[in-house]
Amino acid sequence: MVRIDLVSLIVEEYDPAIAFFTDVLGFDLVEDSPSLTDDGRPKRWVVVRPPNAQTGLLLARADGEHQRAAVGDQVAGRVGFFLRVDDFDAAHRRMTEAGVTFVREPRSEPYGRVAVFLDIAGNRWDLLGAT
């Protein structure tokens, strides 16, 4: 089997990002282990994943000015992440009540219902559901 297991998401700090993805979006914290950079500085291996999903996010704390500049703009202002849910209306309502910023209101497209939201770093995501 071949699959994409993880996608890195650069964040400012680990703990607020973990809280956003687990408490607000309902992801599972799969792993949070201490690690070291190539030059021996401490870092963490932090993986979050939607329940029952195969692909997860590796939350990577920005290291250096170049990476800090990419926080919130990892895909140059485009939607770069896609969260598909079974019940679009319930997920949208729950996320709105939790304070998630939606930058586009729900609309119907040929591929389903969609609304664009921002994660804790400012990256754009599509919330996707059936029409």
Tell me the CATH number for domain 74-131: 3.10.180.10
What pLDDT sits at residue 12? Answer: 97
Q: What residues contact 104, with CB distance under 8 A and at least 6 apart?
A: 114, 115, 116
Residue ranges per structural domain of the chain: 1-71, 74-131
What pLDDT sits at residue 36? Answer: 87
Average pLDDT over residues 10-20: 98
What pLDDT digit, counting tens, does each position of 88-131 carry? 999 999 999 999 999 999 999 999 999 999 999 999 999 999 98
What pLDDT sits at residue 99? Answer: 96
CATH architecture, domain 1-71: Roll (3.10)
| Alpha-carbon span 4 to 18, nearest angstrom | 21
What pLDDT sits at residue 67? Answer: 95
Q: Would you say 91 and 102 are in contact if contact means Cβ atoms under 8 Å apart?
A: no
Full DSSP string of 56-116: EEEEEE--SHHHHHHTT-TTTTSEEEEEE-S-HHHHHHHHHHTTPPEEEEEEEETTEEEEE
